[in-house]
Copies of this chain bind each other. A is one copy, B any other.
């Protein structure tokens, strides 16, 4: 299940990307338009800024803005930051690998082979979609 954090984060990024003439988008505007808790969204945008997706400007008239072109922001990057591993099981995760403590041999695990397939398919979708596709 996708966390609300990720869902809200994607919505916020999409919202910001949609603004053409407006350069800075304040939290309150996004929170109202997308029905997201102001404070919760605040923390999400903060991590997105620290991860290099967003820039921000303080003070009156301030807000958030995209640091890259939406075309250059693949979903894989966003999802990994907000949600964590894309794989359903740590032992098939590319970026967050962890060994199973109950499995002796990974390669002979029946679940392993199935989850590799799921991971590859999901990965393909996330790689083929950038923020530009969501807008």
A positions within 8 Å CB-CB of B: 1-2, 7, 10-11, 14, 34-36, 75, 85, 88-89, 101-103, 109-111, 113-115, 117-118, 121-122, 124-126, 129, 133-135
In the complex, what distance in Å separates the CA atom of A91 from the CA atom of B10? 16
Most B CB atoms within 10 A — which of A109, A110, A121, A122? A110
Q: Would you list the 4 A-B pairs with minimal beta carbon distance, nearest first? A: A110-B134, A121-B121, A35-B102, A2-B88
**How long is the Cα–Cα vector from A96 to B103 in the complex, in angstroms?**
31
Query: Which secondary structure dominates where chain A touches chain B?
Result: helix
Contact of A89 among B7, B36, B111, B125 (CB under 8 A): B7
Q: Nearest chain-B residue to A124 (Cβ)?
A: B121
Which residues of B lie under 8 Å from residue A125 when comparing CB positions? 114, 117-118, 121
Per the bound structure, the CA–CA distance linking A88 and B109 in Å amounts to 24
**Smallest distance from the beta carbon of A97 to chain B beta carbons, Å?**
14
Given A10-B114, A14-B110, A113-B134, 16 additional A-B pairs, CB 8 A: A1-B85, A1-B88, A2-B88, A10-B111, A11-B111, A14-B111, A34-B102, A35-B103, A36-B102, A110-B134, A110-B135, A114-B125, A117-B125, A118-B126, A121-B121, A121-B124
